[in-house]
Copies of this chain bind each other. A is one copy, B any other.
């Protein structure tokens, strides 16, 4: 039915091994032979059987994207990037979410991953936050001797990663708010335990302090990246007495920023006239909101792309352990100059 390497070998009058060499671009094949084999392979529409090759080499040409991050948007972009990188190199991406009933511990996640990976022999694994910061996961991967690249990890450590500088991004965004005249800038933190939560908050703090202001504890509230938590915390912030109420709110992601805008308008506060708002991520939501959201654009796609690429690259050429990608501050309509009387 489907052509095998033997068919090609017979037709070309060479051994299987020679065909194999040609197919894998190995050296030591005469140019003439190489050309002939290639032509015949093409003619027969031959393509190697991945299972057989995998069995022989214990490589699978498969890369797994493993995550437990509930943000569809985030994962989708990582995934697209990874798939594109895979395709360029003849690899394929298998997607493995690791959602478990929430009570499960880290160890159980590691076990779940182990059972997935023991069954499916992948050549490498891409780990997204918060999974990429789990000791258990990392250790299991090491035991299984599977390469991995972490996306936006909290601890950069000595293993490969791709990431961006959340801290600086938050710093710059806060500086921008400051530059627009805002002094009382509310901050809604993300989910505890998420690396980005701390890094973004740190950037905010640095910026506030860099202009000689003091951090006002009541302006900092704890969300968890969800719209609902954003709404809840926005109410707390906006119900502060007028003279203490923030004139701008920096939410740690776009969903929460959307909630701030929604709550503000329900309370009769116009954005950005009465309240400036900015987010983080630049999800599709950001452009749809009215006003369109000023936010930080993360290079999510590129992180996925580069992560896969690092996995695929021949081990030798790994110049650097980590890659830090550029972000971009997207100025849109949700931030305005502070009005004099506020």
CA distance A115 to B47 in the complex (A): 8
**Using a CB–CB distance below 8 Å, which chain A residues touch chain B?**
1-2, 45, 47-52, 54-55, 58, 60, 62, 72-73, 75-76, 79-80, 83, 87, 90, 92-97, 114-116, 118-121, 145, 227, 255, 258-259, 262, 265-266, 284-285, 287-288, 290
Q: Which residues of B contact A97 (CB under 8 A)?
A: 80, 83
B residues near A92, Cβ cutoff 8 Å: 94, 96, 116, 120
User: Are the CB atoms of A119 and B54 closer together than 8 Å?
Assistant: no
**A1 to chain B: closest residue by CB:** B145
CB <8 Å contact, A262 and B285: no
Query: Does A93 contact B90, Cβ atoms closer than 8 Å?
Result: no
Residues of the B chain whose Cβ atoms lie less than 8 Å from the Cβ of A72: 72-73, 76, 284
Chain B nearest CB from A86 CB (Å) reads 9
- Shortest beta-carbon distance from A308 to chain B in Å: 12
> In the complex, A83 Cα to B98 Cα: how many Å?
11
Out of B50, B76, B95, B120, name the residue touching A121 (CB < 8 Å).
B50
Distance in angstroms from A35 CB to nearest chain B CB is 20
Q: What residues on B are CB-neighbors of A96 within 8 Å?
A: 83, 92
How many angstroms from the CA of A314 to the CA of B285 in the assembled complex? 42
Copies of this chain, count: 2
Q: How far is the CA of A92 from the CA of B92 in the complex (A)?
A: 12
Interfacial chain B residues near A120, Cβ < 8 Å: 50, 92
Known A-B contacts A72-B72, A93-B95, A258-B288; the reply to A118 vs B265 at CB < 8 A is no
Asked whether, in the complex, the Cβ of A118 is within 8 Å of the Cβ of B290, the reply is: no
Cα A283 to Cα B83 in complex, Å, equals 24
Q: What are 16 pairs between A and B in contact, CB < 8 Å? A: A50-B51, A50-B121, A52-B55, A54-B54, A72-B73, A83-B97, A87-B116, A93-B95, A94-B95, A227-B287, A227-B288, A259-B288, A262-B288, A265-B290, A266-B290, A285-B285
Residues of B within 8 A of A265 (CB): 290
For A145, the closest partner residue in chain B by CB is: B1
Q: Give min CB distance, A68 to chain B, whole Å.
A: 12
A116 surroundings in chain B (CB, below 8 A): 87, 92
Give the complex CA separation of A50 and B55 in angstroms.
9
Q: CA A95 – CA B80 in complex, angstroms?
A: 9
Q: Is A49's CB under 8 angstroms from B55's CB? A: yes
- CB neighbours (8 Å) of A76 from chain B are 72, 75-76
Interface contact A118-B45, CB-CB below 8 Å: yes
